[in-house]
Structure 1
Amino acid sequence: MNATLLMSTPGRIRELAPGFAISLTVAAAASFLADHYDAPVMLFALLLGMALNFLAEDAKCKAGVEFTARTVLRMGVALLGIRITLAQIAELGWKPVVLVIVLVVVTILISVIAAKALGFQRLFGMLSGGATAICGASAALALSAALPNHPQKERATLFTVICVSALSTLAMILYPMIAEAFSLSPHLAGVFLGATIHDVAQVVGAGYSMSSETGDVATVVKLMRVAMLLPVILCASMITRRLGSDTGGQKPPLLPWFAVGFLLLASINSTGFIPPSLQNAGSDLSVGCLVIAISALGMKTQLKELASVGIKPILLMTGETVFLATLALLLIHYGF
């Protein structure tokens, strides 16, 4: 048995290598473009992957692309846990924690209701609302991995990634102006930016463009939102169990392995045993895995499929973004 496993492993690696190598190459090109043009790396990876969509059906690349879009994605989500410590959250007190919980829960609930009203599945509302409320493209990919499979799932995920990346970039430019217009203090401006901008990179860019204090607070508040990914994934997994899986009705585990990994890494990181250099390396590896995975997802779709979604999903996600920012400003105004 062991001999058979050892013999099959090199064969499996050879089967996956071409597709993974293509995904890695696309991710490297996307990272280069993002560094030089100061734009979201996830968006570049997705668009470049879509330009190579014919490779997803190539006999040599198909298995590796599927593996990258699924398993490497889950690895990246698990590694997100290394960004978070309980000490970071405790430093800001209880009010930002309550603020983040209220924002995430209410935004997702409103998104589910709005999606149903617009004629979409409630699961699309959870996917788009989770991406808006938690951490942008990373949350979209994580929730997609946990939600039940359906024919439109990948198209919905890719559209969500595109839209949330564009909205996050726009928010990075506009939200510091909004914070100044409302005369928010550096601390409250950091709370507002961290609680509303979708992606971590854009939060950092917007926060430190205002001041060091604002950037520090915005980053920690953003990490609180990332921590909300775990309970939301748990809810998504419970929905998946209730609906059954696509493999003979066998129910998946209540908490997927990547969510367990996320929790374990966050717990270990909270003990202080992980040095900052290793935290940074783990965070970079997480981003790398997610960029590689979104490259593979891009290869599995076609632009004409995304173009057919119409205006309603754009209105839904834009509305979610505006709602989140408005609710955050109201809560901050009333003492949070």
Structure 2
Amino acid sequence: MSSDLDTDTASVHAIFQSYDGMEGLAAGSSAPALTQSGKWQAFFQRTYPGLLVAATIALAATWLSQQYRSPVMLFALLFGMTFHFLYEEGRCVAGIEFASKAVLRVGVALLGARITAHQILELGAMPIATVIAAIVSTIALGAFVAQRFGLSRSFGVLSGGAVGICGASAALAIASVLPRTSESERDTILTVVTVTLLSTIAMITYPLFVTALGFDHVHAGIFLGGTIHDVAQVVGAGYSISPETGDVATYVKLLRVSMLLPVVFTIAFIVSRRAKAGQNSAKVNLPFFLVGFAALVMANSLGLLPKVATDAANDLSRWCLVTAIAALGMKTSFKDLAAVGWKPIAVMVLETAWIAALTVVAVRFI
């Protein structure tokens, strides 16, 4: 398993002598060496309680989302935060860590099954150039404004990537390669909560906005797909205008999702180079989940994935991401979020306004 998972769970469980002690065995009791199958069995026993709780929260959040047509990520986050006490001590901690990292990376990798190169190239040069410029400038703006507000540059990059690419999914992917600090989990949760709320507001207001500007169906689709943060909200906003607008908006949004790969690779490369510059023995961690993302995009572009496989990958990706969000919620307390103040929210509002203004100019005048 990944070293950061082992490190985090070890530090969190420092308050316990061992899991054996929790089962009524004396702490420090000698145990025979485990075989490979025994190690997997021990790992399963160590992680399944927390993983089961996270999956149950994800199931409840999905049901409520379907019943009330509201963002599933937001439900999973809020429900997870109400079970924060499970992360403070007990047998759920290891499984919560596993869900918030390993399950998250599987979900991000499976996002690649949504995208084909044909969908991207079919859009033409203008939407592609607009999307690239919007993403790069939004991340740069986030890093700049965050520092001016006294926040970390990492938060600016995280929030800018979430706003510029694909909302909560991008926030989770970017957070997995940023340097880990004491505020990392809190910043990730805050970013996911805020970007989900902003995306929901955009889904309601942007169709009215493009109608007032007199955009045709194609240009309205480009604007909606290029500005709304979450894929589900893009689909909802686009098809509320017309089927043509919905199709164009979805393709533009998938173009933004495809930018997740180069953006996260670039961030991981920069972080690794800075780590090597500060410590010669620093280890460069290759984000293997992004390799999986790229492989799925390539396979889907070549027509190697049948529709049943892509549908299954999309469903599994959604379940993994919702489960990971629930686990991240359990790792964060309401008190920690309340302590951050208004500045992070202001940064994300500015990023949202920036990407909307830039896209309007591109659609209307270029």
TM-score, normalisation: structure 2: 0.88
Which residue of structure 2 aligns with residue 179 of structure 1?
Answer: 210
Within the candidate set 322, 327, 332, 1:296 is matched to 327
Within the candidate set 60, 63, 68, 2:94 is matched to 63
2:103 equivalent to 1:72: yes
Letter in 2 for 1:263: A
Which residue of structure 1 aligns with residue 351 of structure 2?
Answer: 320
Alignment of 1:1-336 (within 5 A): 4-244=35-275, 250-253=282-285, 255-335=286-366
RMSD over aligned CA atoms reads: 1.7
CA distance in 2, matches of 1:328, 1:84: 22
C-alpha deviation, 1:239, in angstroms: 2.7
Unpaired stretches in structure 1, ≥5 consecutive residues = none
CA distance in 2, matches of 1:118, 1:247: 29
CA distance in 1, matches of 2:365, 2:226: 15
CA distance in 2, matches of 1:189, 1:47: 33
C-alpha deviation, 1:252, in angstroms: 2.6
Figure out how many residues of one structure are paired with residues of the other and give that number. 333
C-alpha deviation, 1:140, in angstroms: 0.4
CA distance in 1, matches of 2:283, 2:365: 44
Letter in 2 for 1:147: L
1:95-146 Cα shifts (integer Å, max 9, x gaps): 1111111111111111111111111111110000000000000000000001
C-alpha deviation, 1:224, in angstroms: 0.4
1:67-86 Cα shifts (integer Å, max 9, x gaps): 11110011111111111100
CA distance in 1, matches of 2:206, 2:163: 15
1:186-236 Cα shifts (integer Å, max 9, x gaps): 001000000000000000000000000000000000000001111110121
C-alpha deviation, 1:242, in angstroms: 2.5
**Structure 1 residues 85 and 17, CA, compared in 2 at 3 Å: closer, same or farther?**
same
CA distance in 1, matches of 2:289, 2:50: 22
CA distance in 1, matches of 2:353, 2:125: 25
SS of residue matched to 1:236: helix
Moved more, 318-327 or 55-64: 55-64
Unpaired stretches in structure 2, ≥5 consecutive residues = 1-32
CA distance in 2, matches of 1:63, 1:105: 36
Letter in 2 for 1:47: L
CA distance in 2, matches of 1:10, 1:247: 37
Moved more, 233-242 or 69-78: 233-242
Decide which structure has the larger Cα Rg and report it: 2
CA distance in 2, matches of 1:175, 1:136: 16
C-alpha deviation, 1:174, in angstroms: 0.5
CA distance in 1, matches of 2:350, 2:319: 30
CA distance in 2, matches of 1:206, 1:140: 22
Task: Note if contact 1:116-1:122 (Cα within 8 Å) is conserved in structure 2.
Answer: yes
Identity of aligned residues (%): 50
CA distance in 2, matches of 1:250, 1:129: 27
